[in-house]
Amino acid sequence: MKSPLKNAKCKNLSISFLKKILPANSRIDSYNLFDGAVELSLGNIGHHVRAHTEKKIIYEFWRCVQHNPKLLHRFLTYDGFVFRGENDFFSLQETLPTRKDAYMRSSIFFLLNRCSESGYASHGDYDDRSYNMYALRRLKNFQAPPAFKVFHDSGPMHLEMMKRSDCDYVIVPSLRFSFNLFEHGKSISYDTQTVVHSELKNVLSSSRKNTILIYNFHEELLKYFSDFNIYLIDKYGRICFEKEQCEEIIVTNF
């Protein structure tokens, strides 16, 4: 089952490579949960995935869509809910966290994700090309793999990663590198998570767990993580050896 959410920042090209290197029935802790494409793909082939996020709205969405996706669909399609496109889009971005019901928040989160060019509910310009009957049908019919679990973490991601001791692999997908050492140059809001790349590097060095970081290609990463194993992934999801062909970079400590 594919994710109902849109990921506008990453193509998740590394999934095929992960499926090849991870032993069957691996226990995986994943962090930086957003669209869940990597986590669901691994769960669909029998891995036991615990997906973690610091953001309550993201945690709520996944809990609600796991338990009752039809209720989310019903809210967005019943006659009493009126969405007037761009006129309502920016207002909903601001007011989403104030909605009192978790299923209502999760429904609007889905709508904003699908109508935001950035893929984020909290910011981005209006673009509704991904909000259509096909997307709503995917939401309605969503069924998560049995061994896919979602957790809301209270602490920073790198500290939570170091706490876990009963998994086989730790994975952090959907990363982007920038020179200010944070993933996003924009201010952090209710669905954007702070990523300190220097702390992730420290985790790679100090953790005894097999750890995998998945980045969009950035040439600086080749130097920044030069002490670790680096795999270049091309636009077809295959290993490549020329940076000019690279779309994503996988960094591991094993």
Instruction: Please state, for a pLDDT cut of 90, what percent of the chain lies above it.
Output: 89
Q: In sequence order, what are the residues at sequence separation of 6 or more whose Cβ sits closer than 8 angstroms to the Cβ of residue 92? A: 108, 111, 112
Query: Over the stretch 15-33, which tens digit does the pLDDT of each residue have?
Result: 999 999 999 999 999 999 9
The whole-number pLDDT of residue 131 equals 97
Query: Over the stretch 46-87, which tens digit does the pLDDT of each residue have?
Result: 999 999 999 999 999 999 999 999 999 999 999 999 999 999
Do the Cβ atoms of 42 and 22 come closer than 8 Å?
Answer: yes
The stretch 200-224 carries a mean pLDDT of 96
Q: Is 235 strand, coil or helix?
A: coil
The whole-number pLDDT of residue 185 equals 44
Q: Name the band, by pLDDT with cuts 50, 70 and 90, for residue 88.
A: very high
pLDDT at 183 over 60: no
Any idea which residue has 């991904």 for tokens? 130
Find the Cα–Cα–Cα–Cα dihedral 11, 13, 16, 18, rounded to 10°.
Answer: -90
Query: Over the stretch 123-153, which tens digit does the pLDDT of each residue have?
Result: 999 999 999 999 999 999 999 999 999 999 9
More confident residue, 163 or 53: 53
Q: Name the band, by pLDDT with cuts 50, 70 and 90, for residue 184.
A: very low
The whole-number pLDDT of residue 180 equals 60
The whole-number pLDDT of residue 186 equals 46
Closest CA to 30 of 21, 41, 38: 38
How many angstroms separate the CA atoms of 142 and 79, rounded? 22
The whole-number pLDDT of residue 163 equals 85
